[in-house]
Amino acid sequence: MKALFQKELMSYFYSPVAYVFIIIFLLATVGSTFFLGRFFEANQASLEAFFLFHPWLYLFLIPAVGMGLWAEERSQGTIELLFTLPIGLAQAVIAKFLAAWAFIALALFLTFPMVLTVYFLGNPDGGVILASYLGSLLMAGAYLSITLVISSLTRNQVIAFVVSVMICFLLVLLGWGVLTDFLEPWLGVIVTETISGFSFSTHYNSITRGVIDSRSLVFFLSIMIGGLVINAMILEAKKAQ
């Protein structure tokens, strides 16, 4: 499992994928913060504008990282070789997930100059910043687990990418204020709040306010664990065919 983790993690850096992803991610986060989020105009030593755009940036970047984890194995026929190795399917799924998640965590860590910037400009709330980073990493893991499930269902990486983006977009949109305001008169407050409770943005926004609610942690961890279990079940079914 450790060997597979190392292999998958280093495979990103053996190709331009890692460097392109990291550069695009850093440019997108900085650009959205300073231009769309109007960081300086807010006149506050806060990273609220920085974390505001993460759900939308992850919509495209995380599926791009995870779309080939299983689809490429299937298209190249190497998945049969993987099945013959002395490693369980559950271990293989976890190793691939952790490798991709570690790569995303590295990209997120490289945004530390933003933290230095706000500390240079003022006295931000360090607890809120740490909570926001945790929320961003957990949400990235949830995006990734969904992408892995879709990637295991197809040989085509483009299909895995598009379907993953659509599913994650729907889960972000469920908690969007415009949608909940539209649904509330039709479905009522209770049903609307229930639907909103299944949204990434609802739980992510809660954490970025500095409130690490156990419900939000359970939500993201459940998505990740559930995705890995489904991923293993799909591979087990394909192995038996």
Confidence of residue 186 (pLDDT cuts 50, 70, 90): low
Q: Cβ(96)–Cβ(10) under 8 Å? A: no
Q: How far apart are CA 124 and CA 1, in angstroms?
A: 40
* Number of structural domains in the chain: 1
pLDDT at 63 over 80: yes
pLDDT given for residue 224 in this prediction: 96
pLDDT given for residue 21 in this prediction: 87
pLDDT given for residue 129 in this prediction: 92
Confidence of residue 85 (pLDDT cuts 50, 70, 90): confident
| Two structure tokens written together for 139 | 């949400």
Confidence of residue 195 (pLDDT cuts 50, 70, 90): confident
- Go through 200-232 and write b for each residue having 16 or more CB atoms within 10 A of its CB, e for each that does not: bbbbbbbbbeeeeeeebeebbeebbeebbebbb
Q: How far apart are CA 128 and CA 206, in angstroms?
A: 11
Q: How far apart are CA 75 and CA 156, in angstroms?
A: 7
Region 21-26: mean pLDDT is 91
Confidence of residue 181 (pLDDT cuts 50, 70, 90): low
Q: Dump pLDDT digits (tens) for 150-179.
A: 998 988 899 999 999 999 998 888 877 666
pLDDT at 238 over 80: no
pLDDT given for residue 48 in this prediction: 87
**Domain with 14 in it:** 2-240
CA angle 133, 134, 137 (to 5 degrees): 85
Structure-model confidence comparison of residues 185 and 32, the more confident one: 32
Q: Provide, rounded to the nearest whole percent, the portion of the chain with pLDDT above 70.
A: 90
Region 9-37: mean pLDDT is 86
Q: Which residues, 6+ apart, have CB-to-CB distance to 94 below 8 Å?
A: 1, 228
Look at the block and give the residue holding tokens 């976890």: 94
Region 197-216: mean pLDDT is 86
pLDDT at 49 over 70: yes
Of 103-117, 126-140, 202-216, least confident by mean pLDDT is 202-216
pLDDT at 97 over 90: yes
pLDDT given for residue 182 in this prediction: 63
Region 49-61: mean pLDDT is 91
